[in-house]
Amino acid sequence: MLTTELANGIAMPRLGFGVFQMDDHTRCEEAVVSALTCGYRLLDTAAAYENEAAVGRAIRRSGVAREEIFLTTKLWVQDYGYESTKQAFYRSLERLQTDYLDLYLIHQPYSDIHGSWRAMEDLYREGVIKAIGVSNFSSAQLADLITFNRIAPMVNQVETHPFCQQWHAADFMQQHNIAIEAWAPFAEGKNDIFTQPLLATLAERYQKSVAQIILRWLLQRNVVVIPKSVNPQRIAENFAVFDVSLTEQDMATIATLDLGKPFIANHADPERIAFIGTRCFAT
């Protein structure tokens, strides 16, 4: 298993399993059990996904020791602020049936992120979180958090796929020892990504699927990636990417697909910020 070393020395698996939009708890639980059985050891959920309890049940069912799993969840905007963050954190622990997290992320870069971050710094120092980070933060927002707090984010989870490659953001994160983690590595299936001619040609050449080519490309960029699926065959296929290596030329060829802007969600869009502010969940 490839890993990425975080700023505090902790090894984070570079290939994990995400559960975004798995609102059918039975299917979510079964998918996580399948993933753990295949060998995945990084699991990524969020309070806003409303499936933390299903993930917790799957971990217990799987028979995989808790200490072998790198478990991530995220704080939603309605719970931002120092005290609210601590309360939301312990609710997440209860749903996940665990007494610590490997990684806790601020889910969206709005509202009282500094109050939440200071609560997370304290939880980190108390030892109930092994690493702390953020999601969807721009380089400027990362700089703000770094400058006015004591601990820098260790991870930033952002939209990253062949049409939104995040090269400038990744350079900034590397300069500040922040690991980049990709959500939506398959661009949510948009823009005909699975039949894209360049990717399809590479898939044929390496005798892999387009999805496997994309995952291998991200892994070789040192990007942590969390593909999702509820199909056991696809779950296994997405994990079978350690027996191939793309050439530098093929890596460069994929780089030509970059559109240089967000493809799924623009977190600097005022309308999106207003929309996020209306989204409340049962946390």
Provide the pLDDT for residue 216. Answer: 98
Residues serving a catalytic function are: 49
Cα angle 208, 212, 214 (rounded to 5 degrees) comes to 125
Instruction: Enter the pTM of the model.
Output: 0.96
- Asked if residue 151 has pLDDT above 70, the reply is yes
**38-73 per-position pLDDT tens digit:** 999 999 999 999 999 999 999 999 999 999 999 999
CA proximity to 128, closest of 152, 161, 160, 96:
96
**154-185 per-position pLDDT tens digit:** 999 999 999 999 999 999 999 999 999 999 99
- What's the whole-number mean pLDDT along residues 221-249? 97
Confidence of residue 280 (pLDDT cuts 50, 70, 90): confident
Per-residue CA distances from 132 to 113, 205, 242 (Å):
13, 39, 28
Taking only Cα atoms into account, the Rg of the chain, rounded to an integer number of angstroms, comes to: 18
Mean pLDDT of the chain: 96
Per-residue CA distances from 180 to 5, 56, 155 (Å):
11, 25, 6
Kindly report the number of other CB atoms within 10 A of residue 21's CB atom: 12
DSSP string, 193-209: GGG-HHHHHHHHHHTS-
CA distance 262 to 111: 21
Domains of the chain (ranges, CATH numbers): 3-276 (3.20.20.100)
